[in-house]
Structure 1
Amino acid sequence: MASTILVTGGTGTLGRHVVPLLRGAGCSVRVLSRRERPDEDGVVYVTGDLRENAGVAAAVAGCATVLHLAGGPKGDDEATAHLARAAAEAQVKHLVYISVIGADRVPLAWLRSKLAAERAVADSGVPWTTLRAAQFHDLTLAMVEKMAKLPVVPSPGGLRLQPVDAREVAERLVELTLGAPAGLVPDLAGPRVYDLAELSRGYLRARGKRRPLMPVRIPGKAGRAYRAGANLTLEGATLGERTWEDFLSERVA
């Protein structure tokens, strides 16, 4: 009988792609959710809260592998520490974590939290794999959609992104999860680097809208880091194939 894989964040943007891929590979899947859900399609749902450390030990029990996808704007370090301790106590054989490119270079609180979460995984005593990925197309879309509702669209100078398709991230994570622990693996980014103005113009064209763009400057240390490309991995990253334009033609047009 196949060993069970626990997936946190299995109902989120990434998890909705990961879980079917694991099931298609013949894996027994358990998903940790904060809300009760009925089991479906061979997936068992268990209830717990990572930040409150409620139900975590029970969720991990009996699992050989844990794939940690759950995340939020704050508290990822604390939540991941709880999961990592439970995984160590349950003698999990492989702990896999999805992080963000620039977690070790961009001075923002949520990225510092991501870096602390990476350290909790690495220091857990459980064999581990961490993948840093670029911003997903879905999150990029949410950002430009919000800005495009304004009469004038802000265009932060020097801010570049290399958005990646969530399905390609899911495929890579499943490959890593089913493989041997590999530590920090090469980053995964999209096939092209765009400045934010390009991303906004592409969205506006796809929606048939017109908006003026207004250059703005991101202040402080974070602004300097973004202008220096600290949120990018321009050399040595694994690159996806689906571009921002491909994504827009499917989702928006």
Structure 2
Amino acid sequence: MTGGTGRLGQRLIGPLQEAGHSVRQMSRRGTGPGGVRGDLATGFDLATALAGAEVVVHAASDRGDAWQVDVAGTRRLVEALDRDRLRHLLYVSIVGVDRIPYGYYRAKFAAEQVLLASGLPVTLLRVTQFHHLVDVLLDGARRGPVLPVPMGWRVQPVDVGEVAQHVVDVVGRPPTGGVVEYGGPEDLSAADLARAWAVARAPGTHVVATPLPGKLGAAFRDGAAVPTGGERGRRTYGQHLHG
């Protein structure tokens, strides 16, 4: 598994082991029980880390250097794999990477194309935003008692624990050779999320829905970040807020 130290990766180790997998967690430092060194950004020790792997969950990502880690790193991963042993490679991507004009999403989409062109047995699992990321974005957007949010943006946030369990389920199925989607149970506006967050985390905050022009805003308003198919989680954002 790549990205084992990330928020999703940390939640994946237990369920993968409970499903009968022997998990090898790859990171640049290789520290911790079951950890091995392997650097997607440089290719260092990748072949050693991936030796003999039958299933790969590729959950690593770097928003700050996505083209080097997500795209070029995925290409290095493909080159280092033992093709004779690999049965399934699951790549964790994001709903909307093919429709939302945002640099990080473009990099994730490019990484998907690397995998589709590789000839490997792959599944591209696109998921929606995690609940905790919504919290971080809203907290960062607040300006004193005012919380501005983009008007009309539609999102469908999901519980990271449910995503982890779904990854385990999908890994146990035959590779699809294409894209599958997974999202939360509710299609909500950014303003709805902000109001719920403000009540639970920052009482007295006034939410202001503000028009956001341009292609990025139009994509979110048109539902590009909302899944069009696939399975759904059950835990709502409101349940997340109230623990």
TM-score in terms of structure 2 length: 0.92
CA 1:93–1:202: 2 relative to 1, 3 Å: same
Q: Which deviates more, 88-97 or 133-142?
A: 88-97
Instruction: Give the gaps of 5 or more residues in structure 1.
Output: 1-6
Q: How far did 1:195 drift?
A: 1.1
Q: Which residue, 227, 231, 234 being the options, matches 1:241?
A: 234
Q: Classify the secondary structure of the residue corresponding to 2:86.
A: coil
Q: 1:35-114 alignment to 2 at 5 Å?
A: 35-39=29-33, 44-73=34-63, 74-75=66-67, 76-87=70-81, 91-114=85-108
**Equivalent position of 2:15 in the other structure:** 21
Instruction: Give the gaps of 5 or more residues in structure 2.
Output: none
Q: How far did 1:13 drift?
A: 0.8
**Equivalent position of 2:225 in the other structure:** 231
CA 1:57–1:236: 2 relative to 1, 3 Å: same
8 Å contact kept, 2:51–2:82:
no
**Equivalent position of 1:3 in the other structure:** none
8 Å contact kept, 2:50–2:82:
no
**Equivalent position of 2:187 in the other structure:** 193
**Equivalent position of 2:211 in the other structure:** 217
CA 1:200–1:108: 2 relative to 1, 3 Å: same
Q: Which deviates more, 73-82 or 165-174?
A: 73-82
Q: Identity rate of aligned residues, in percent?
A: 38
8 Å contact kept, 1:107–1:222:
yes
In the alignment, structure 1 residue 148 sits paired with structure 2 residue 138: no
Q: Classify the secondary structure of the residue corresponding to 1:186.
A: strand
CA 1:140–1:129: 2 relative to 1, 3 Å: same
Count of aligned pairs between the two proteins: 239
Q: Classify the secondary structure of the residue corresponding to 1:187.
A: strand
Q: Classify the secondary structure of the residue corresponding to 2:56.
A: strand
Q: How far did 1:182 drift?
A: 1.6
**Equivalent position of 1:177 in the other structure:** 171
How big is the alpha-carbon RMSD for the aligned residues of Structure 1 and Structure 2? 1.6
Q: How far did 1:122 drift?
A: 1.3
**Equivalent position of 1:125 in the other structure:** 119
Deviations 1:69-122 (A, max 9, x none): 111212211221111221255652211101111111111111111111111111
Q: Classify the secondary structure of the residue corresponding to 1:113.
A: helix
Report the AA paired with residue 238 of structure 1: E
2-structure distance, mates of 1:195, 1:145: 17
2-structure distance, mates of 1:69, 1:49: 13
Q: Classify the secondary structure of the residue corresponding to 1:95.
A: strand
Q: How far did 1:46 drift?
A: 0.7
8 Å contact kept, 2:123–2:176:
yes
8 Å contact kept, 1:61–1:90:
no
